């Protein structure tokens, strides 16, 4: 009889909170969650271990250097779309995502289908132990509410990415197959769940994030004790993302506005952001502080992004902005030169690896000696963009203009003039390289530039019903994928289920597999 494979031990979870770099992925029925988490302090240690999962590598049997946690998912989501490219192939890490060429890996445990599934279901399994102890956990009541609230938020977070990566977007696909749901503590031999529906998955996500907000909002100090933790404001930020994907624009605007109420939070200047590598910047809602002895070195986000980091991967596989997006950026926009190189004549190439046309310089390691840089998972600017977009979708054009100015004026000295040229409309170009005309065009453009490399452009394309064309005049894409389907809702925009799940889950068969395109 087949049993679910993606159940992981409490021992492995607790080890993560110390210094272990490898997951213990053997299931266990030796210890119950209620025993391990009899008090809130032990559960807090466990949730810290879950957060560390977000930035460690090694979620696959091979190619572990490209599986560096949450930032890897955001990077591959960018590369699957049209605004971000790799100038060179390097050893192939992330380049196959860019080529839309990872479907064939579903049959092994080395590629994307398995590594991403493994990553998020490990998180789900571990937080489920904490949630299962909710009614029996002792200790300080406020600490308990904080830890359990964080666990609910992390479960919502994990399922939110799983459903976007393994099925088409929510709107119009509510009845399509979803992903297996697990809401209780599991042990060796637990029966696997069926795929269910997209609607069923979002119902669970919405329930979890609301429970998280209620619990985290009930404690006297709503602000996290460390920036890596999810607090009341971060939970609202996660809710804003979820609502935006579901086209619940009123909910998205309200949640984003609540997230922006975090004390001392503000839009950061480009100078303050520096290399986008410090959780201490005033705009950061949620991020992972990376200390020297926890650096993943070669297997890290900055190794793949910073072409000037000595001995790191990016120098051989440089990450660049597309000419299509670059040409839409105003010359008075500070991000144009602070975050990206322009067109550089070949005879002006210099020694620095990043000194090549359109190379990104937005993300830089904080310290080349220790190979460190913090991971920023949520910034105030994203919440402003969600709020503005949600208001525009609701035809609240005056409010949307006011909201987007709080970001635009901090980036472009002539933003007021630029914005005045946009008509009040919530329609947007299907050709993402076309000139901007409407207010919605402008808001979506600001999102593309401000969050380049941060949130995964393919997720936005999915929820907005967009496809793309890389083969335009002046394109600098090294892979134009002209033989691939890049129309809206392409099967290449989602992943196949890993074969190991089909083999190991008695409630999922090959008939439940997503389309496989090779």
pLDDT per residue as tens digits for the range 193-249 = 999 999 999 999 999 999 999 999 999 999 999 999 999 999 999 999 999 999 999
Task: Give yes or no: residues 180 and 244 share one domain.
Answer: no
Measured CA to CA in angstroms, residue 267 lies from 101, 379, 452, 518 at distances of 37, 8, 16, 43
Distance between first and last Cα of the chain: 31
Query: Looking up tokens 């144009």, which residue turns up?
Result: 336
With vertex at residue 285, the alpha carbon angle to CA 379 and CA 371, rounded to the nearest 5 degrees, is 80
Find the helix or strand (DSSP H, E) in which 288 lies: strand 284-288
pLDDT at 58: 85
What's the total number of domains in the chain? 2
Segment 74-78 long-range contacts (CB within 8 Å, at least 24 positions apart): 74/453, 74/454, 74/455, 74/456, 75/301, 75/304, 75/305, 75/453, 75/456, 76/112, 76/456, 77/455, 77/456, 77/457, 77/458, 77/459, 78/452, 78/453, 78/454, 78/455, 78/456, 78/457, 78/458
Can you tell me the mean pLDDT for 61-83?
A: 93
Task: Give yes or no: residues 235 and 186 share one domain.
Answer: no
The alpha carbon dihedral of 185, 232, 276, 461 has a sign of positive
Contact yes or no for 88/316 (Cβ under 8 A): yes
Collapsing DSSP to helix, strand or coil, 496 comes out as coil
- Whether the pLDDT of residue 186 is over 90: the answer is no
Task: Give yes or no: residues 236 and 214 share one domain.
Answer: no
Q: Using CA atoms, how far apart are residues 23 and 36, in angstroms rounded to an integer?
A: 18
pLDDT at 345: 85
Which stretch of 90-104, 297-311, 420-434, 492-506 has the lowest confidence by average pLDDT?
297-311
CA 398 to chain centre: 30
- Whether the pLDDT of residue 6 is over 60: the answer is no
The answer to whether position 235 is within a domain reads yes
pLDDT at 226: 95
pLDDT higher for 387 or 58? 387
pLDDT over 70, % of the chain: 91
- Three-class secondary structure assignment of 498-514: CHHHHHHCCCCCHHHCC
The answer to whether position 289 is within a domain reads yes
Task: Give yes or no: residues 322 and 205 share one domain.
Answer: no
- Whether the pLDDT of residue 296 is over 70: the answer is no
Q: What is the DSSP string of 66-86?
A: G--SHHHHHHHHHHTSSSEEE
The answer to whether position 253 is within a domain reads yes
The answer to whether position 466 is within a domain reads no
Q: What is the DSSP string of 175-228?
A: TSB------S---TTPPPP---BHHHHHHHHHHHHHHHHHHHHTSS--S-SSTT
pTM for this predicted structure: 0.94
pLDDT per residue as tens digits for the range 245-257 = 999 999 999 999 9
pLDDT at 63: 81
The answer to whether position 272 is within a domain reads yes
Can you tell me the mean pLDDT for 365-386?
A: 96
The structure tokens listed for 484 are 């691939």
Q: Write out the residue range of the structural domain in which residue 46 sits.
A: 10-220+490-512
Q: Using CA atoms, how far apart are residues 462 and 487, in angstroms rounded to an integer?
A: 10
Task: Give yes or no: residues 210 and 231 share one domain.
Answer: no
Task: Give yes or no: residues 246 and 213 share one domain.
Answer: no
Residue 294 backbone zone (phi > 0: left; psi -120 to 50: alpha; other: beta): alpha
Measured CA to CA in angstroms, residue 270 lies from 109, 338, 413 at distances of 40, 8, 13
Task: Give yes or no: residues 205 and 230 share one domain.
Answer: no
Measured CA to CA in angstroms, residue 233 lies from 50, 203, 245, 497 at distances of 19, 21, 19, 33
pLDDT per residue as tens digits for the range 451-478 = 999 999 999 999 999 999 999 999 999 9
Which stretch of 176-190, 262-276, 459-473 has the lowest confidence by average pLDDT?
176-190
Task: Give yes or no: residues 278 and 292 share one domain.
Answer: yes
- Whether the pLDDT of residue 5 is over 50: the answer is no
The answer to whether position 298 is within a domain reads yes
pLDDT at 291: 87
- Whether the pLDDT of residue 369 is over 70: the answer is yes
Per-residue burial over 281-295, b = 16 or more CB atoms within 10 Å of its CB, e = otherwise: bebbbbbbebeeeeb
Can you tell me the mean pLDDT for 116-136?
A: 95
Task: Give yes or no: residues 252 and 357 share one domain.
Answer: yes
Can you tell me the mean pLDDT for 34-55?
A: 88
Task: Give yes or no: residues 54 and 185 share one domain.
Answer: yes
The answer to whether position 267 is within a domain reads yes
Task: Give yes or no: residues 214 and 230 share one domain.
Answer: no
Task: Give yes or no: residues 371 and 499 share one domain.
Answer: no
> Which domain CATH number covers 125?
1.25.40.390
Q: What is the DSSP string of 322-340?
A: -HHHHTTS-TTBTHHHHTB
The answer to whether position 368 is within a domain reads yes
Radius of gyration of the chain (CA): 22
Measured CA to CA in angstroms, residue 381 lies from 63, 128, 161, 406 at distances of 33, 31, 21, 9
């Amino acid at each position: 009889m087949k049993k679910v494979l993606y159940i992981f031990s409490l021992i492995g979870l607790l080890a993560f909170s110390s210094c272990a770099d490898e997951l213990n992925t053997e299931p266990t029925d030796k210890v119950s969650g209620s025993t391990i988490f009899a008090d809130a302090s032990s559960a807090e240690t466990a949730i810290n271990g879950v957060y560390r999962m977000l930035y460690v590598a090694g979620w696959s049997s091979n190619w572990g250097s490209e599986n560096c946690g949450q930032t890897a998912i955001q990077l591959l989501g960018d590369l699957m779309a049209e605004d971000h490219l790799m100038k060179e192939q390097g050893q192939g890490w992330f380049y196959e995502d860019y080529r839309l060429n990872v479907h064939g890996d579903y049959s092994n445990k080395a590629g994307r289908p398995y590594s991403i599934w493994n990553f998020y279901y490990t998180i789900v399994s571990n937080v489920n132990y904490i949630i299962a102890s909710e009614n029996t956990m002792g200790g300080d009541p406020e600490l308990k509410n904080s830890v359990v609230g964080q666990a609910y938020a992390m479960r919502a977070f994990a399922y939110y990415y799983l459903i976007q990566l393994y099925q088409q977007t929510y709107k119009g696909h509510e009845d399509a197959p979803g992903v297996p749901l697990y809401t209780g503590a599991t042990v060796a031999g637990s029966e696997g769940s069926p795929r269910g529906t997209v609607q069923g998955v979002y119902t669970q996500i919405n329930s979890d994030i609301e429970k998280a907000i209620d619990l985290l909002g009930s404690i006297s100090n709503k602000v996290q004790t460390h920036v890596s933790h999810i607090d009341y404001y971060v939970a609202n930020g996660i809710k804003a993302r979820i609502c935006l994907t579901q086209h619940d624009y009123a909910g998205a605007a309200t949640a984003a506005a609540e997230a922006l109420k975090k004390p001392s939070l503000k839009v950061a200047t480009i100078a303050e952001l520096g290399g986008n590598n410090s959780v201490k910047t005033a705009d950061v809602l949620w991020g992972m502080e990376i200390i020297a002895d926890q650096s993943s070195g070669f297997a890290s986000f900055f190794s793949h992004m910073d072409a000037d980091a000595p001995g790191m991967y990016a120098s051989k596989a440089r990450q660049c902005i597309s000419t299509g997006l670059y040409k839409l950026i105003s010359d008075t926009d500070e991000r144009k030169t602070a975050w990206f190189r322009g067109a550089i004549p070949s005879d002006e190439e210099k020694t620095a690896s990043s000194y090549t046309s359109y190379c990104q310089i937005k993300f830089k390691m904080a310290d080349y000696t220790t190979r460190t840089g913090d991971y920023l998972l949520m910034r105030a600017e994203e919440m402003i963009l969600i709020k503005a977009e949600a208001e525009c979708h609701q035809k609240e054009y005056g409010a949307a203009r006011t909201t987007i100015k709080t970001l635009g004026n901090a980036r472009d000295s002539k933003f007021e003039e630029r914005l005045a040229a946009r008509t009040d409309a919530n329609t947007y170009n299907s050709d993402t390289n076309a000139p901007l005309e409407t207010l919605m065009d402008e808001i979506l453009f600001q999102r593309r530039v401000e969050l380049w490399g941060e949130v995964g452009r393919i997720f936005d394309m999915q929820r907005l019903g967009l496809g793309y064309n890389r083969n335009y005049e002046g394109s600098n894409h090294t892979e134009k994928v002209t033989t691939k389907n890049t129309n809206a809702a392409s099967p290449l925009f989602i992943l196949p289920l890993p074969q190991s799940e089909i083999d190991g889950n008695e409630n999922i068969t090959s008939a439940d597999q997503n389309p496989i395109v090779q």
